[in-house]
Copies of this chain bind each other. A is one copy, B any other.
Amino acid sequence: MTRALTRKGEATRARIVAGAAAEIRERGVDEVRLEDVMAHTGTSKGQLFHYFPDGKEGLLLAVAQHEADQVLIDQEPMLSNLTSWPAWLAWRDRLIERYLAQGVKCPLNGLLGQTGRRAPGAQAIVTGLIWRWQKAITEGIRHMQSTGDIDPDLDADRAAAALLAGIQGGVLLLLSTGKIDHLEAVLDLTIDSLRAGARTGGS
C-alpha cells in the first residue's frame, strides 16, 4: 500500500537517496544539510519533503538501508561461497581492498553510532545487517566443518560472532587511525586460528 509513484518519481527518489548517501560518506552525517543534498542531486526542498514526508529522519533511514545493503553486496560473491581456504582468502582480500579504498569515509559509521540509539528504525536496520552478515559467515564455517577443514566441535556461531566483531573493530580502527593494520591483523590471525583448529583436532 505504498503510495503511487510514477516512473519519473521513482527515479528522482533513487537519485536523492544515492546522492545523500554519497554526500554523507564524504562528509559525515551531521555535516550534511538538506541544502547540500538538494545541491548535489539537483532537487528542490519541495521534492525532498514530497518523497520523504518525515523529513531528514526518513531520508536518513532510507540512506541507512541503502548503505547496509551495499555493504553485503560489496562482499559478493565471496561471502556466500566460503567453501574452501582460497575462497576465504579471496573474501579477506576483498574486505581489505574495499575498506582500503573507502578509507576514512564510512557509510555506517554515523548510523551505527549516533543514529543507532535515536531512531527506532535505524536500530532494526543495523541489527538486520549484522544478523545477515554473521549468518553468512556461520554458513561458511559450517561448510568448512562438513568438509573437515575446520574442527567440527567448534561452535560455528560463536566463531562467526568473534570474526565479525574483529572485522567491525578493524574497520573502526581504520576510521580512527587511517591505517589498515588492525583489520589485516584480525582477519589473518582469526582465519589462521580457524585453520589451526582443524590440524590440531583432526590429526
Query: Chain A: residues with CB nearer than 8 A to chain B?
Result: 28-31, 104, 109-110, 112-114, 116-118, 123, 126-127, 130, 158-159, 161-162, 164-173, 175-177, 181-183, 185-186, 188-190, 193, 196, 200
Contact = CB atoms under 8 A, between A and B. Distances in A.
A122 to B, nearest CB: 10
A189 B161 CA distance: 10
A165 B170 contact: yes
- Copies held by the complex: 2
Contacts of A31: 118
6 contacts: A28-B117, A110-B113, A161-B185, A166-B169, A169-B171, A196-B196
A29 B169 CA distance: 21
Contacts of A161: 181-182, 185-186
A57 B51 CA distance: 35
B159 A189 contact: yes
A29 B117 CA distance: 11
